[in-house]
């Protein structure tokens, strides 16, 4: 049975993973058939790159993703595209959809400070308060 799973690479206490297709009997970091992606949990946000065409190919051939990889594939929409592929939708249309989604930049909303909280720029542009008369008398 084929599995799509994570293969650990990277230094000690600095993990990054390759997404590979391997025989289920092979060790975690052992022999594999093909590398289809990359996952780095140490970046913010996490970096996940999966070759969608190869992932769909191996899933259609019966490869089973591990639990963690299944969550990643669901998040990226690969499993829903697999269901559509099995329903008869052409592979070219699905891959065009993936390319269009990758071309669109992910726009994050601008961070707004909480009401009543000044940003650093606003606080530095205001004049500092004058020292009180008491503080001058004590000096």
In a domain, 117, yes or no: no
Residue 53 lies in a domain: yes
Q: How far is CA 89 from the centre of its chain?
A: 27
Within-domain flag for 139: no
122 domain residue, yes or no: no
How confident is the model at residue 133, as a pLDDT? Answer: 59
DSSP conformational letter for 71 = H
Question: pLDDT tens digits for the chain (139 residues)?
Answer: 899 999 999 899 999 999 999 988 888 778 889 999 999 999 989 899 999 889 999 999 999 999 999 999 999 888 888 898 888 888 888 888 888 877 776 555 555 555 555 655 555 555 555 666 565 566 5
Domain that holds residue 25: 2-104
Closest CA to 61 of 30, 94, 34, 97: 34
What CATH number corresponds to the domain at position 66?
A: 3.30.1320.10
- Flag whether 98 is in a domain: yes
And the tokens for 121? 């720029």
Tell me if 137 is assigned to some domain. no
Residue 128 within a domain: no
How many structural domains is the chain composed of?
1
Q: How many helices (H) and strands (E) would you count in the chain?
A: 6, 5
Instruction: Give pLDDT tens digits for 4-25.
Output: 999 999 899 999 999 999 988 8
The 10 Å Cβ neighbour count of residue 7 is 18
- Structural domain includes residue 129: no
């Amino acid at each position: 049975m084929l599995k799509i799973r994570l293969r650990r690479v990277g230094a000690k206490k600095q993990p990054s993973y390759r997404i590979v297709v391997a025989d289920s009997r092979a060790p975690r970091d052992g022999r594999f058939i093909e590398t289809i992606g990359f996952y780095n949990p140490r970046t913010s946000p996490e970096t996940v790159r999966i070759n969608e065409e190869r992932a769909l190919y191996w899933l259609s051939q019966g490869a089973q993703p591990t639990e963690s990889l299944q969550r990643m594939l669901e998040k990226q929409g690969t499993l829903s595209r697999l269901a559509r592929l099995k329903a008869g939708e052409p592979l070219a249309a699905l891959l065009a959809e993936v390319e269009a989604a990758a071309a669109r930049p992910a726009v994050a909303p601008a961070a707004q400070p909480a009401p009543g909280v000044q940003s650093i720029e606003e606080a530095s542009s205001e004049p500092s308060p004058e020292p009180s008369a008491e503080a001058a008398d004590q000096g």
